[in-house]
Amino acid sequence: MEVILKTDIKGLGYKDDKVKVANGYGRNFLLPKGMAILATDSAKKMHTELLKQRAFKEDKLRKEATANAEKLSTVSIKVGAKAGESGKIFGSVTTIQIADALQQAGYPVERKNIEINAEHIKQLGAYTAKVRLFKEIAATVNFEVVAE
């Protein structure tokens, strides 16, 4: 039986893949749970059209992300933190603070897409973070932790 997957299934395939499965597995598990649809001629045509449209949208998003990555790599932001006399920060700098600083600079980025290169930032100074903009497109952002 040939089916088109609607979700990622570990060991079987990813969303929108056409796969061959045993009749019982498809009829008794995948189809009733809504994890796949039967790969009929009309479903295959709709599937190819959907993939074509998605490829067009992804290409547009990829170009946009590439342009934003170039802009972000030139940006240097300042993150304020309360610090003591020796330059040690009370607490640490997190992705939330970096996302807020980027938002104020005009670059809206979700905090879950930011990855700080240092383990824990507990000192004043200059650091870098990796911002994931699209699947494989990422930019490196330089930021400086300053005392408030």
All domains in the chain, ordered by first residue: 2-63 (3.40.5.10), 66-147 (3.10.430.100)
pLDDT per residue as tens digits for the range 80-131: 999 988 889 988 899 999 999 999 988 888 888 899 988 888 899 999 999 9
* pLDDT at residue 72 in the model: 87
Report pLDDT digits (tens) over 11-31. 998 888 899 999 999 999 999
The CB density around residue 97, as the number of other CB atoms within 10 Å, is 20
> Which pair of tokens denotes residue 118?
């240092």
Residues in the chain: 148
H/E run at residue 39: none
* Distance from C-alpha of 127 to C-alpha of 65, rounded to nearest angstrom: 23
- Structure pTM? 0.65
